[in-house]
A and B are shown apart, each in its own frame.
Chain A
Amino acid sequence: MAETILVIAEQRESKLNRVSFETLTCGQALAKQTGWTLEAAVAGNNIASVAAEVAKTAVAKVYAIEDGTLERYTPDGYVAALKKFIESSKPKLVLLPHTYQVRDFAPKLAASFGAVLVSDVVGYKYENGKLLFVRQMFQGKFAADVSLSGEGLWFVSFQSGSFRGDQVQPGQAPVEKVNAATGEIRTHPEAPFQEAKQAVDLSQAEIIVSVGRGIKEQKNIEIAKNLADALGGEIAASRPICDAGWLPMERQVGSSGQTVSPKLYLALGISGAIQHLVGMKGSRNIIAINKDAEAPIFEIADVAVVGNLFDIVPALTEEVKKVKV
């Protein structure tokens, strides 16, 4: 029997999460190399338009798994629906984007089959008929090639940005509507909301000076502010700085903060965890100052300054003031 790869696309309020295209791109590449069939599924309520959008990519078939109980996401609802569907469609490999929602239900879904999810994967290798998945470890300081035992069913989730969503092969696939299996739903979600409107819109900033935990103490934020002022830029931070209340939440850059793409992003004492990188890797020029030559931030930096920020930043501020006039 032909083996199948199933991509589970994500939607919220009948809008496709674009990161699903990245997973589809990966699925297409894997299908080509392995000769396995690629199918896609999306779960929810009133999702015909989402399924139709997924069906415009080169996949063999798209399943729209629908029920009123899936209107608002719950882990119980999703696992009941997807478990039944996977039991009947019997894929070998299930691929998902590593979103907050997937983090919430995919380990449970995999466990219901006695399987382990390989989470937050950034790539794969197919060597001599063996599949290896590449994961980041130690917050991006290392990568690991990971293998899975058995012959499947395997579950893998992909970190956002690992594949190019805009390179997904177009196609025209049939859509099949599936009535979702239902089960007891034990948690009762309320509607998603945003906290009070943000007063600072970092997405418009041309120059951003961003501080991380390397700044050590609240009073040292001044050092970075002085540089930002000299450059005429905005100050921003990694999450721990905002968690500590050293800068307001609205100045946080990353997956749970703002996404920025300035002309210049100066990262001071930021290690470069993926949740930070997704918020700033679109910057046109990235200069990182870090005392650790192996810091993952240097992997995406255009200019890597290895050194102590407390020596370099004040000196840089003075130099900027000099050359600016």
Chain B
Amino acid sequence: MKILVCMKQVPQKDAPLKLNESATWVREDIGYEVNEPDAYALEEALRQKEKNGGEVVVVTAGPARSQQVLREALAKGADRAIHLEDDRFVTLDAFNVARAIAQSIKDELFDLVFTGLQSDDFGYAQTGVLLAELLGWPHATIIMQIEAKDGGIRVKRELEGGYFQYVNMPLPSVLTIQSGINKLRYATLIGIKQAKNKPLRRVTFDEVSAALKPNQLTIERLYIPQKTKQTEVIQGPPQDVAKKLAAKLRDELRVF
């Protein structure tokens, strides 16, 4: 199976996010990491390849810094990478990101495309589904298990409230992967060494711009959400905090 994994670089979970001057985005002087569900998507692709043979290709659309995500994926075992490299990819809406990726792979024949189910920054949860629509392929979202079956695949979709559902589907298709589908591996030293010699194809903004349309979605203003609840803040030395909390639990909340 030939599998494409779409990966995104997002701010680190603990990064102190600050608004930029126009309050439309965050300041970029922070640490970045791979979007968590995308890491699971990559792991799943590597496992499928180990089971069924084939090739794993990783793609990202983002500035120069996001190459790190591809390097890590190559070190973990991906065969090659595609980098749509330009700062402008950050400002595209989900439909345009999908258009750019679709354009960059138009000469390739994949059996499966994986994406994480959503990104930790925008959280649109759409790129995979839109990519399927652009490629004319079927899709399934929030996937927790994949097995090859009768020339196609059988996947386990997570539903709400603890329900699941198996779906049988043909190839090629697009799947969006949920965190926790597998256990992530670490890159090995050998892997990191080998990654340096693996092919990485750069795609410029101009190469895909003909496929793009004007963004339909514009972020007018980014801000810290207003609190809706009265919150009492307790701070201070741990001993004092613990005493205050314990007293509160006993006297106000009467939990014991």
Contacts and interface: CB of A to CB of B under 8 A. Distances in A.
Asked if A and B are interacting partners, one says yes
Interface of A: 75-76, 99-100, 103-105, 107-108, 111-112, 114-120, 132, 135-150, 186-195, 198, 206-207, 213, 231-232, 239-240, 242-243, 245, 255-259, 263-264, 271, 285, 287, 292, 294, 296, 298-308, 311-312, 315-316, 318-320, 322-324
B139 A315 contact: no
B188 to A, nearest CB: 21
Contacts of A149: 214-218
Nearest to A130: B220
Given A302-B231, A305-B245, A100 B11 contact: no
22 contacts: A75-B129, A103-B125, A103-B141, A114-B213, A116-B126, A119-B124, A136-B123, A138-B17, A144-B222, A147-B218, A187-B138, A193-B163, A239-B180, A243-B180, A256-B158, A263-B255, A285-B253, A300-B229, A302-B229, A305-B241, A307-B236, A312-B245
Q: Identify whether the interface residues of A are mostly helix, strand, loop, or mixed.
A: mixed
A132 B218 CA distance: 10
B233 A263 contact: no
A54 to B, nearest CB: 20
Interface string B105-119: 000000000000000
B165 A191 contact: yes
A192 B94 contact: no
Contacts of B95: 111, 116
B211 interface: no
A114 B173 CA distance: 21
Interface string B1-33: 000000000010110010100000010000000
Contacts of A242: 180
B160 A255 contact: yes
Interface string B142-181: 1000000000000001111111111111100100000110
B168 A294 contact: no
B215 A187 contact: no
